[in-house]
Structure 1
Amino acid sequence: MLRIFITCVSLLLSFSAWAQNAYININILNGSVPNYRYYEQNSPLKIEMINGVFKFDEPTQSYTTTLAFNLASPRTINLTYVGVKSLKGNSRRHRFFLSPGDSISLKVDMKKAETDIEINGKGAANNYSLDFKNIETQKNYGDSLPDKVIAIFNKMYRDNKRILADYIKTHEPDNQFIQAHNLDLQYSTVLNFYYFKENNKYRLGDKYERFQPAWERAQDSLFKTVSYRLIDPEKTGGKLNALKQPLSTISNDEALISDNYQELIKHFMRREIESLANEAQTNPEQFFRQWYNADINTGREAYSNGGTNLLKEKIVNTYFTGKTADFMYACLITDALYEIDPKSIVSIFDRYKKLFPKSNYANSFQTQVDEIANREAKKLNEKMIFAFANGTTMKTLDEVLWLTKGKTILVYMWGTWNAPSRSELEKHSAAIRAHFKDKDLTYLYIANYDLKNEAGWKKQIAYFQLEGLHILADDDLNKDIMTKVKGKEYPTYFIIKKDGSYELAKAGYPMKREVLIEQLETAMAN
């Protein structure tokens, strides 16, 4: 699933007593039924990109709108206005650096050049066009050593430093703007290198291990140019980095105003989870000893029960402190909510609130976490039916067809471990059931790669209230079904008809619910 890492502070939240409103007033001349969308560059709280339609102002023959934000600190807002006839296509973009109390007016004439815009109002000095250079490094993937790509990123940093200096001299922005953009430039080199290094190691494949020390040394050197310190080994229980060296941290509260710093530490979390998941497989004794203070069997059980969320919390508490740790806790919970992954979230949230009772973020999660707690308390009921031995003895699709003979069945191939599977259940399960209420449709849920997770599997069945027939598939059954129905990924839907024939759902992924409903109705009618 294409994950859109678009983040925005909710307009309905007030982070603290000192948060203020800020406004962007937009006026589009010579457009053609334009609409707009915007998102906030970086913050822990994640929502989809916000779309809207401009109002047509008859006296001025222009399109207008006002965007309102409740802010406790400066934020970067990316605005795209689309559906307009411009000189260079049908969309334009503008990046705002918005502070509490700002009231900025943006006026654009679509018949004029893209750079010919008017910015006025409080905060205008921070919001003229500032176009930093971005250098393409695609051709450098496969480089064995980091020297060339570091030189590229360093040149980009110097060029952008001059662009920022010219902007400051011309427009005299405020100190917060200057601080944020200087930090952005400092962290851009580190972030770009980190992105490149982590992607390049997959291009190098088996060769990477030989050259890894050079890449790690280069990364450490870049980190030292911003914020970097070794972590006391006693605090980490002897944990080591990829080169078996003491851990270091890039925790920097002052840099949270920087978009690039926020993205760097979030990307660090993603890569650390990948690295530790690999270590749990390749070196389980060390992994479970260092991260769970346990032997392999005890640690594996704790790892399974706590899930990725608990491991993320351990990473936060190991690498980050102060406001940065607060931010990373909020990112952890945001991602768990986004991926519909409730495992350990209630207990993690309780610890989060105790650690950061004055957090600007924590209170915004309370309602959602309370809902998770209520859903986790739900139990299996008599309408949740399990095949004999949970279906673990079944090997072929023919056995499933025999079990469901004479019924119209919606089959859902899923896994508790699979975020898209959970997301589809959350979005569509209740709606499909409501549409087919009191109709002759049966539901079959076949979980895959969950044989060692029976307790967690049943817990999710209760959590999502999946009433119907359930099978815990082994590898043979999973392979036979996916081959015969031509399923390629999880989740996969297919329909079994009363005559025993079957067909893959046409709804695709993400599911087009109306397409699946129409296909089911046709199957039931026939």
Structure 2
Amino acid sequence: MSNRQRGIHYFLFFLQIIAASTIAAQHNVKINGKLENETLKYASIEFMGRVYPPDDAAKAELIIPVKNNRFSISIEIDEPEIAILYLETENGFFSQPLFLAKDYQLNLKIAIQHNQLLLETTGIGANDNRRLDIQTDHELKPIVERLDSIPDNIYLELRKLFTKDSISIESHIQTYQPSEAFKTAWRLQYQYSLVRDYVIINETRKTFIPFTYANNKNQWKQIQYNLLRNYPIVNEKAFKAKVPAYFKLIDRIIGIIKDSIRNEYTDPTLFVNEWFGEEIKKEGNSFRPDSQNLFLKKIIDRLFIGDILHYQYALLFRNALAEINMTNLENIYKEYASKYPNSKYLPIFDKSMEDFFSKTTRRFTPAMKFIERRDTIHTFKQLIQLVKGKTILLDMWGTWCGPCRSDISKHSAIIKAHFKNKPVDYLYVANLEEENEKGWKEMISFYQMEGYHILASAALTKDIMNIVKGTGYPTYAIIRPDGSIELSKTQYPMKREVLIQQIEELLK
């Protein structure tokens, strides 16, 4: 272990000890359930707002052991919250919202009739867990598929759903007299459902009908602005109650805000100076704007506070790990950990981060061959002359390309192990990266990408993509030993076995 790795290890271990000593006391909720009239195959509970690294993502949904149509589980919680119970029977899937609070002991008697879930609840907390006539998600497909470009029409449709939900909830409250925490959470649920649904449809309109959307763009934006003013993205009550509609809104809103801010600037230089001026002062011309991790961090710091700020950081960490987006991640994580040593997310992420950071210390090997004088190579034909002689797998990729990084992470080592000691080599052409040589080389060492490497000019990228009929990234092709090209039978997501079989056929 290098001194740098050892330093990271001790740093994260120290923070874990501090954080573990400050975790709030938790309380158990006990749930016993029985399905009366069908065979129960599967049961689980999904929680909102629980963030885990990609390799632990399953923890956000607890699988409940099922035996003889019965299930039982004990859950630790620290605040009253909404959770979703999922059941799979021989005739389909069903869901039921639950409201969980400390020391609840729930007995659920469930039946399926006419494809509907019926529920009888007894025990402590029963009045908070009667059968609800609404679900946490609306069926928006009919509205989405109409492709209506008039925002007022969409808003009126969603208001109808809002009114229906509000009547159902208020009637439920009047009938069963649930707890105050239940009332607060479910009123927030139907309120934020309106905002969440409008934001979702607004984004689909931008994608599917961009030209007609543009005609009413300001009106779309104004309605969304008014909704977010009335139901803001910083709402501690909705956050603590784990309101599903609220979490689905804030889970996606950060990306929408990022794109919106970026699109407001017609001058790229002005954007860089206003958002990255501090880094430019420190690093000068060597600084390259990071439109992902660092930009998201800046938005989080400006817009969010309290528990919601920490949650957004956790999403940033999770997504960066999932997409293997290493740019600035180590500095961001260490700064966050130093600033918020009591964050409950540090014990969750420290092991994954330690493993991730250890890979950034990897070195180049002789098998990583950088093509020299790349500024003289403008055509695919020129490039092929430098590498031909073996069967070569061409990978058109970029450090900025999440799908590219995902394919390299999942498939590269396995493909190379399969063709070990066979006349197969690899050519990685990095695209749209001419000003990112440092990040490009860091990514190559991180993934241990053995093979030929070139940082392509715009002309070279265009020529290769035309020849291999590439329409996006990643794009794959195979170069035969004589320099001729065979188009790949797989693109993203890579069907690894298909590609391996295709190369094997060429080796015969």
Per the alignment, residue 118 of structure 2 pairs with 116
User: TM-score, structure 1 length as denominator?
Assistant: 0.79
Q: Report how far residue 348 of structure 1 moved.
A: 1.2
Q: Report how far residue 467 of structure 1 moved.
A: 1.5
Does residue 1:487 correspond to 2:470, yes or no?
yes
Aligned equivalents of 1:408, 1:21: Cα separation in 2: 60
Q: Report how far residue 141 of structure 1 moved.
A: 4.3
Q: Report how far residue 497 of structure 1 moved.
A: 3.4
Aligned equivalents of 1:123, 1:425: Cα separation in 2: 49
Which piece of structure 1 moves more, 454-463 or 394-403?
394-403
Per the alignment, residue 505 of structure 2 pairs with 522
The 1:481/1:165 distance shift into structure 2, 3 A limit, reads same
Q: Report how far residue 176 of structure 1 moved.
A: 2.7
Per the alignment, residue 247 of structure 2 pairs with 262
1:75-118 deviation per Cα after TM superposition (whole angstroms, max 9, x unaligned): 54444444x432xxx33333334445555454545576423344
1:329-379 deviation per Cα after TM superposition (whole angstroms, max 9, x unaligned): 112212211211111111111222233332222331111222232222223
Aligned equivalents of 1:466, 1:224: Cα separation in 2: 48
Does residue 1:93 correspond to 2:95, yes or no?
yes
Contact 1:408-1:496 within 8 A present in 2 as well: yes
Aligned equivalents of 1:476, 1:300: Cα separation in 2: 29
Provide the secondary structure at the position in 1 that maps to 2:292.
Answer: helix
Which piece of structure 1 moves more, 400-409 or 464-473?
400-409
Partner of residue 25 from structure 2, selected from 18, 42, 45: 18
Per the alignment, residue 358 of structure 2 pairs with 374
Q: Report how far residue 200 of structure 1 moved.
A: 3.5
Q: Report how far residue 278 of structure 1 moved.
A: 2.6
Identify the structure with the greater helix proportion.
Answer: 2
> Which amino acid in structure 2 is aligned with residue 19 of structure 1?
Q
Gaps of 5+ in 1: 1-12, 228-249
Per the alignment, residue 312 of structure 2 pairs with 328
Per the alignment, residue 364 of structure 1 pairs with 348
Correspondence list, 1:170-181, <5 A:
170-181=175-186
Contact 1:34-1:53 within 8 A present in 2 as well: no
The 1:436/1:359 distance shift into structure 2, 3 A limit, reads same
Does residue 1:421 correspond to 2:404, yes or no?
yes
Contact 1:22-1:102 within 8 A present in 2 as well: yes
Does residue 1:138 correspond to 2:144, yes or no?
yes
1:96-155 deviation per Cα after TM superposition (whole angstroms, max 9, x unaligned): 3444555545454557642334445554443444243746533774545x4333333333
Q: Report how far residue 159 of structure 1 moved.
A: 1.7
Per the alignment, residue 78 of structure 2 pairs with 72
Per the alignment, residue 128 of structure 2 pairs with 126
1:462-520 deviation per Cα after TM superposition (whole angstroms, max 9, x unaligned): 11111111122223333333333333332223333334444344344323333333333
Does residue 1:147 correspond to 2:149, yes or no?
no
Aligned equivalents of 1:317, 1:183: Cα separation in 2: 25
Does residue 1:158 correspond to 2:163, yes or no?
yes
Aligned equivalents of 2:227, 2:332: Cα separation in 1: 33
Aligned equivalents of 1:53, 1:264: Cα separation in 2: 25
> Which amino acid in structure 1 is aligned with residue 143 of structure 2?
T
The 1:129/1:152 distance shift into structure 2, 3 A limit, reads same
Provide the secondary structure at the position in 2 that maps to 1:385.
Answer: strand
Provide the secondary structure at the position in 1 that maps to 2:223.
Answer: helix
Percent identity over the alignment is 31
The 1:194/1:55 distance shift into structure 2, 3 A limit, reads closer
Does residue 1:193 correspond to 2:198, yes or no?
yes
Q: Which has the higher contact order (CA 8 A, sep 6+)?
A: 2
Aligned equivalents of 2:487, 2:44: Cα separation in 1: 35
The 1:502/1:522 distance shift into structure 2, 3 A limit, reads same
> Which amino acid in structure 2 is aligned with residue 428 of structure 1?
H
The 1:108/1:275 distance shift into structure 2, 3 A limit, reads same
Paired residues, what number?
A: 480
Per the alignment, residue 377 of structure 2 pairs with 394
What is the RMSD of the two structures over their aligned residues, measured on CA atoms? 3.6
> Which amino acid in structure 2 is aligned with residue 267 of structure 1?
R
Q: Report how far residue 52 of structure 1 moved.
A: 9.8
Aligned equivalents of 1:304, 1:151: Cα separation in 2: 45
Per the alignment, residue 283 of structure 1 pairs with 267
The 1:434/1:350 distance shift into structure 2, 3 A limit, reads same
Aligned equivalents of 1:102, 1:503: Cα separation in 2: 63
Aligned equivalents of 1:297, 1:449: Cα separation in 2: 25
Provide the secondary structure at the position in 2 that maps to 1:137.
Answer: helix
Contact 2:118-2:131 within 8 A present in 1 as well: no
> Which amino acid in structure 1 is aligned with residue 462 of structure 2?
K
Contact 1:415-1:449 within 8 A present in 2 as well: yes
> Which amino acid in structure 2 is aligned with residue 193 of structure 1?
Y
Aligned equivalents of 2:284, 2:70: Cα separation in 1: 57
Contact 1:408-1:497 within 8 A present in 2 as well: yes
Per the alignment, residue 7 of structure 1 pairs with none
Aligned equivalents of 2:354, 2:115: Cα separation in 1: 51
> Which amino acid in structure 2 is aligned with residue 271 of structure 1?
I
> Which amino acid in structure 2 is aligned with residue 356 of structure 1?
Y
The 1:128/1:444 distance shift into structure 2, 3 A limit, reads farther
Partner of residue 344 from structure 1, selected from 320, 328, 332: 328
Aligned equivalents of 1:38, 1:96: Cα separation in 2: 9
Contact 1:285-1:296 within 8 A present in 2 as well: no
Q: Report how far residue 313 of structure 1 moved.
A: 0.9
The 1:104/1:220 distance shift into structure 2, 3 A limit, reads same
